[in-house]
Chain A
């Protein structure tokens, strides 16, 4: 399972600085000077892999918003973190509506950026079919550590059998965890849970 941050920013100095910041917290980062470059270089990630993209909003050529649309069109469902240059409310709203995990305003608080990237990479984010990213912290908080591991994999669409194999547990054990999770979250099935999560209006 690999974890990677794609960083898209046209400003070389800013790109270099944010990349260094990610490196300093031992994140793997790949940098691109434009949305076009990123899309051209993008390789689909495996089901186990985690990735997220951090992009500048204002760039010559493809803007952050356009990149968001392109990702959706290409069905690249990775969480998108947008850094907006200045208080640009209409664009921020647009980015959030487009399914961005969050929009951070420059100059970005480093810890905040690192936290949100970790959140995106540690599977606590669900990206729906419309490219919508939803943080699942609210649900995870109600679960035990083991239950959370199972929950994360189930949320990523894995079957019980696959979850068991990946976590090195027996099928039976996973089934028990699964029913306990449903009970705690007060839903009757995983699909009902997904429905409940995904029809909620997107929010940070």
Chain B
């Protein structure tokens, strides 16, 4: 087979066209048979074929006068194909006596199919691909006339028309099928959507959750507000706002307007959903706390919009506030209990300056009685007395501050100052136990958002636990390290590290449970309370390996640093100072 012949037969564009036309391996069809019968009769040749040639065979879409087995196989390999040469040249092939024709004299069709005379014209698509040959065959040598050739050319045009018709019909059928399928899918989708809508309405009815759509610009009559949303915001019988601006202006509580507008704008601009808690002022004067999930709406280019799902959480926030109150009460009780445990030590601490005052005054009285009280010295002594009175006052201030019952506040607190105050308060205990305090303060952020008393309670619990842990060490080897540092200016970390016996693996998590204690005189509430305090400050209290040392425990509290805290509060849309 010549190279040119191979190239043409395997031309990808031609093969693709063959596939597209869907002729290969299809059943015989009357319109094609009619044309082959016509050619056979007009030209008086026993055999006529519509032969489609692909890369390895010729397929007979129609065959007249072919002997079996070829008639039933409806194809031959290329070794038996004259038609491939018509395809290769894209020109009519006229053979009078095959055995003597240089192109086909070795072709197996001569012997096997008794092909002697052959007249084939190319079947070429409008795109210019020659897909096969329309041919007549005689079993004896024959001269083909110009009229014969002309007849074949004209009939081949009919074959091509038939193919085009066949193809168009097929296409139409396929398109129709696709359309039917899409319509069915659409129907299913619509049904699902209707079901979903029914369920959403029922869900809103049962839960009181409402939904609404807000547009960047007023949307005229395009109002999408569920009954629940209207009821929740107190506009059941009024026209609901459709734009963000009018929603904020008409319904949102004055103090929350700016925050809500910013959150919605942010959701629209960055195509990012968020949740926000805010208050709504109803026209009857009632103020409700609403939480709303805001999701950007996919639009077809007609301005931006957000989908809002809103829920009235006024009752929930009241409950939450109540819960926070009880929790804060519990913490207070725990602080009082802690102070009680330390009462003896604290009494001693107070006694020190009082003793100094008493002794100094008594000595002055004695000196004065003897007439040997120097005036300058007296000033010194009075200064000492005054300083010691202040010292006693300071100790009292710390203790009273610690056991004070005050509403929790959220404000920037310097954790370093809290830790220093706690260490000062615990100094009589550390002194009594000969604990060496290592206070490590790494440069960086130290402010966290929170409540000073609670943070003090947290730090005190951890440091007292550390003191207890080192008790079993010899007096000269009791070290407690308190470190404050920041991580990437994003977190503020408080670490309390002791060189005591450490905490066994089995106790690691249990120690955070209530009433679990390694102490004999403890209630086992210190760590659970510390953990809840940490959580209330969006911080995490964990027990880690002591790190670097083979002994001891390391408790760390990771707080969001203050800038980060502000951002979080903003993004989460929490109400500031709700309690």
Contacts and interface: CB of A to CB of B under 8 A. Distances in A.
Nearest to B362: A110
A20 B362 CA distance: 9
Contacts of A60: 431-432, 434
A13 B381 CA distance: 11
A17 B366 CA distance: 13
Contact of B431 (A13, A23, A25, A58): A58
Interface string B356-370: 111110111011001
26 contacts: A11-B356, A13-B352, A13-B353, A13-B356, A13-B391, A14-B355, A17-B355, A17-B358, A17-B384, A20-B364, A21-B359, A21-B360, A23-B363, A24-B362, A24-B364, A24-B367, A24-B370, A59-B431, A61-B475, A85-B348, A106-B351, A107-B351, A107-B354, A107-B358, A110-B359, A110-B363
Q: Which 10 A-B pairs have the closest CB atoms?
A: A17-B359, A24-B363, A24-B366, A13-B356, A85-B348, A17-B356, A110-B362, A21-B363, A107-B355, A20-B363
B72 to A, nearest CB: 113
Contacts of B364: 20, 24
Contacts of B362: 21, 24, 110
Given A17-B358, A24-B366, 5 more contacts: A13-B391, A17-B357, A17-B360, A24-B370, A85-B351
A74 B434 CA distance: 23
A85 B353 CA distance: 12
B359 A14 contact: yes
B356 A25 contact: no
Contacts of A110: 358-359, 362-363
Interface string A10-22: 1101101110110
A62 to B, nearest CB: 9
A169 interface: no
B387 to A, nearest CB: 7
B1 interface: no
Interface in A71-122: 85-86, 106-108, 110
Contacts of A108: 355, 359
Contact of A13 (B347, B367, B388): B388
Contact of B359 (A18, A61, A85, A86): A18
Contacts of B363: 17, 20-21, 23-24, 110
A16 B388 CA distance: 12
B351 A86 contact: yes
A16 B431 contact: no
A156 to B, nearest CB: 30
Interface in A19-44: 20-21, 23-25
A11 B347 CA distance: 15
Given A13-B356, A17-B356, A106 B348 contact: yes
B19 interface: no
Interface string B339-357: 0000010011001111111
Nearest to A10: B431
Nearest to B388: A13
B269 to A, nearest CB: 62
A113 B390 CA distance: 25
Nearest to B357: A17
Contact of B348 (A17, A23, A24, A58): A58
Contacts of B384: 13, 16-17
Interface string B140-158: 0000000000000000000
Interface in B280-325: none
Please classify the interface of chain B as helix (H, G, I), strand (E, B), loop, or mixed, using the class held by over half of its residues. helix
A14 B381 CA distance: 12
A106 B366 contact: no
A143 B344 CA distance: 45
Contacts of B387: 13
Nearest to A26: B370
A86 B349 CA distance: 10
B355 A20 contact: no
Interface in B363-414: 363-364, 366-367, 370, 381, 384, 387-388, 391
Contacts of B432: 58, 60
A28 to B, nearest CB: 15
Nearest to B373: A24
Contacts of A10: 431
Interface in A158-179: none
Nearest to A18: B359
Nearest to A15: B356
A200 B434 CA distance: 36
A94 B355 CA distance: 24
A35 to B, nearest CB: 12
Given A11-B352, A13-B353, A58-B348, A20 B434 contact: no
B431 to A, nearest CB: 5
Given A25-B366, A60-B434, A61-B434, A20 B359 contact: yes
A14 B362 CA distance: 13
A11 B428 CA distance: 11
A17 B362 CA distance: 9
Contacts of A59: 431
Interface string B483-513: 0000000000000000000000000000000
Contacts of B354: 107
Contacts of A85: 348, 351
B434 A86 contact: no
Contacts of B388: 13, 17
A145 B359 CA distance: 33
A15 B366 CA distance: 18
Nearest to A66: B475
Nearest to A114: B366
B349 to A, nearest CB: 9
B272 to A, nearest CB: 58
B360 A86 contact: no
Interface in B59-116: none
B352 A14 contact: yes
A78 B391 CA distance: 34
A60 B433 CA distance: 7
Contacts of A23: 363
Contacts of A17: 355-360, 363, 384, 388
A108 B355 CA distance: 7
Contacts of A25: 366
